[in-house]
């Protein structure tokens, strides 16, 4: 028997806009008392809920429980920008691409995950939160354009479709003259992340028992595994950990995970006059030519700006840090939408990304009947879903071929020794963001 006590549990601060613009969530159940189940899943984000859904399909008579430290949708799953991207999306590269063979496999697997989410959207009536709209890449500079040309060449090599747009075409969509060119790729789903993840949990709740606001403080593994919270516990023969970077808080993948935060601000609702002044299309999502630039989304009457990465090994941010970075959001907003003047941001938030040095996920069976799916390197809406569904296949032993592919991937590499990481990680992020220049 081994006991893993969490040295910290998640406590995300500031309401993410995606959560804030939804009707208030329904009452929830917290874990109190002793429960027994056939499967216990810790973490109710994209990975945890994908695992729960896949299990409910594979072993429909089994008792499945999910425990999350926070409300569903309050963590990174409801804090992200909602780009469910089918194509390679290497944040650490200069143009999102990787090696061709690796990329083709990733595309196939990403699309399987998107289809898995799409079938859930259909089953639970969540289509308004899951829109097959494609994504734009926007370039603000000649350097950005050059990066986009490289990206397009990479896509041509993979025989993936794309559309090239010039400045006026970008203005027609976004309303702004900021972008000198762009590239459209059709396979991305634009999600309302908190709406989708909350709806997924609600849809699953008739078959899966979901406990919220119940931080797991101890994981005890043995013949029966037990996860414990302050007021309750669940025992089950099979345990799936889908807590993303918090894996390290339990002592798993120690010194192998990089805890990075990124931040977003969402405007107040724009009036009809302001929307007319802005022009462009009412719904679009744009990622920057340079991976370190600003992601912008327009969702009807609101605009969301996401930028800035910080290294937060303590796995938390502060209001001060969020507000400071909010000033960078305001600058990026004003540079793109000068015609709107001063528009206040109604929501500002930050959230935890788990990265590894070699962009590898934490996936597999790490102890007898203890499984993990996490560390999705910034594309967790898709990769979390992918590894969540595959970890269920792995645990049930279905022989799903993608499980073998996932198991062949490397594990997260060991980080450099301290103080190299503490000094090097923020410096590297700073240099990469500096390179983004006007794309920020």
Ligand X SMILES: Cc1cc2nc3c(=O)[nH]c(=O)nc-3n(C[C@H](O)[C@H](O)[C@H](O)COP(=O)(O)OP(=O)(O)OC[C@H]3O[C@@H](n4cnc5c(N)ncnc54)[C@H](O)[C@@H]3O)c2cc1C
| Binding string, residues 8-37; x marks residues near ligand X by CB under 6 A | -xx---------------------------
Cα separation, 120 vs 56, whole angstroms: 12
What residue is closest to ligand X based on CB? 380
Contact between 260 and ligand X by CB under 6 A: the answer reads no
Name the one residue in this structure whose structure tokens are 């999502």: 285
Sequence-separated (6 or more) residues with CB below 8 Å from residue 64: 37, 38, 39, 41, 52, 55, 56, 207, 208, 209
Residue 176 vs 214, nearer CB to ligand X: 214
Residue 176 vs 188, nearer CB to ligand X: 188
Residue 310 vs 381, nearer CB to ligand X: 381
Residue 82 vs 275, nearer CB to ligand X: 82
Q: Under rule CB under 6 A, how many of the chain's residues touch ligand X? A: 41
| Binding string, residues 270-289; x marks residues near ligand X by CB under 6 A | --------------------
Contact between 76 and ligand X by CB under 6 A: the answer reads yes
Contact between 110 and ligand X by CB under 6 A: the answer reads no
Residue 9 vs 209, nearer CB to ligand X: 9
HEC per residue, the chain:
CEEEECCCCCCCCCCCHHHHCCCCCCCCCCCCEEEECCEEEECCCHHHHHHHHHHHHHCCCCCEEEECCCCCCCCHHHCCCCEECCCCCECCCCCECCCHHHHHHHHHHHHHHHHHHHHHHHHCCCHHHEECCCEEEEECCHHHHHHHHHHHHHHHHCCCCCEEEEHHHHHHHHCCCCCCEEEEECCCEEECHHHHHHHHHHHHCCCEEEECCCCCCEEEECCCEEEECCCEEEEECEEEECCHHHHHHHCCCCCCCEEEEEEEEEECCCCHHHHHHHCCCCEEEEEECCCCCCEEEEECCEEEEEEEEEECCCCCCCHHHHHHHHHHHHHHHHHHCHHHCCCCEEEEEEEEEEECCCCCCEEEEEECCEEEEECCCCCHHHHHHHHHHHHHHHHHCCCCHHHHHHHHCCCCCCCCCCCHHHHHHHHHHHHHHHHHHHHC
Instruction: Out of 14, 56, 80, 356, point to the residue binding ligand X (CB under 6 A).
Output: 80
What is the side-by-side strand order in the sheet with 295-299? 163-166, 181-185, 135-139, 283-288, 295-299, 302-311, 258-267, 345-355
| Binding string, residues 217-246; x marks residues near ligand X by CB under 6 A | -------------------------xxx-x
Q: How far is the CB of 411 from ligand X (least distance, A)?
A: 16
Instruction: Out of 17, 88, 181, 215, point to the residue binding ligand X (CB under 6 A).
Output: 215
Q: How far is the CB of 386 from ligand X (least distance, A)?
A: 10
Residue 275 vs 309, nearer CB to ligand X: 309
Q: How far is the CB of 246 from ligand X (least distance, A)?
A: 3
Contact between 296 and ligand X by CB under 6 A: the answer reads no
Residue 139 vs 264, nearer CB to ligand X: 264
Instruction: Out of 345, 353, 390, 394, point to the residue binding ligand X (CB under 6 A).
Output: 353
Contact between 174 and ligand X by CB under 6 A: the answer reads no
Contact between 43 and ligand X by CB under 6 A: the answer reads yes
Q: How far is the CB of 155 from ligand X (least distance, A)?
A: 19
Residue 69 vs 170, nearer CB to ligand X: 69
Residue 181 vs 198, nearer CB to ligand X: 198
Instruction: Out of 19, 68, 162, 396, point to the residue binding ligand X (CB under 6 A).
Output: 68
| Binding string, residues 371-410; x marks residues near ligand X by CB under 6 A | ---x-x-xxxxx-x--------------------------
Binding site for ligand X (CB under 6 A): 6, 9-10, 42-48, 67-70, 75-77, 79-83, 215-216, 242-244, 246, 262, 264, 306, 351, 353, 374, 376, 378-382, 384
């Amino acid at each position: 028997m081994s006991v893993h006590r969490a040295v910290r549990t998640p406590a995300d601060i500031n309401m993410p806009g995606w959560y804030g613009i939804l009707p208030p969530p329904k009452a929830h159940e917290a874990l109190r008392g002793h429960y027994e189940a056939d499967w216990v899943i810790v973490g109710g984000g994209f990975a945890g809920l994908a695992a729960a859904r896949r299990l409910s399909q594979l072993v429909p008579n089994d008792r499945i429980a999910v425990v999350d430290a926070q409300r569903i949708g309050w963590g990174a799953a409801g804090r992200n920008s909602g780009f469910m991207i089918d194509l390679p999306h290497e944040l650490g590269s200069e143009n999102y691409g990787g090696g061709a063979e690796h990329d083709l496999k990733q595309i196939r697997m990403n699309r399987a995950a998107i289809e898995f989410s799409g079938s859930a959207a259909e089953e639970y009536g969540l289509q308004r939160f899951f829109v097959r709209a494609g994504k734009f890449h926007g370039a603000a500079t000649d350097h950005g354009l050059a990066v986009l040309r490289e990206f397009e060449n990479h896509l041509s090599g993979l025989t993936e479709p794309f559309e090239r747009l010039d400045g006026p075409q970008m203005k027609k969509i976004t309303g702004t003259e900021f972008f000198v060119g762009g590239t459209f790729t059709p396979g991305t789903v634009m999600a309302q992340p908190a709406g989708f993840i909350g709806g997924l949990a609600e849809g699953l709740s008739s078959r899966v028992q979901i406990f919220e606001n119940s931080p797991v403080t101890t994981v005890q593994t043995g013949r029966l595994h037990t996860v414990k919270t302050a007021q309750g516990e669940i025992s089950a023969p099979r345990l799936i950990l889908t807590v993303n970077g918090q894996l390290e808080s339990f002592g798993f993948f120690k010194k192998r995970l990089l805890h990075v935060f990124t931040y977003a601000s969402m405007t107040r609702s724009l009036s009809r006059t302001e929307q007319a002044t802005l022009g462009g299309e009412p719904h679009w999502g744009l990622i920057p030519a340079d991976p370190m630039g600003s992601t912008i989304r327009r969702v009807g009457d609101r605009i969301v700006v996401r930028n800035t990465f910080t290294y937060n090994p303590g796995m938390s941010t502060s209001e001060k840090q969020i507000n400071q970075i909010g000033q960078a959001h305001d600058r990026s907003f004003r540079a793109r939408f000068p015609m709107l003047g001063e528009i206040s941001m109604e929501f500002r938030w930050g959230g935890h990304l788990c990265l590894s040095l070699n962009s590898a996920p934490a996936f597999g069976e790490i102890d007898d009947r203890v499984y993990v799916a996490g560390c999705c390197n910034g594309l967790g809406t898709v990769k979390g879903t992918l590894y969540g569904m595959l970890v269920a296949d792995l645990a049930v032993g279905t022989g799903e071929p993608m499980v073998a592919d996932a198991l062949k991937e490397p594990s997260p590499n060991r980080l450099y020794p301290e103080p190299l990481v503490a000094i090097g990680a923020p410096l590297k992020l700073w240099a990469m963001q500096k390179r983004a220049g006007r794309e920020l």
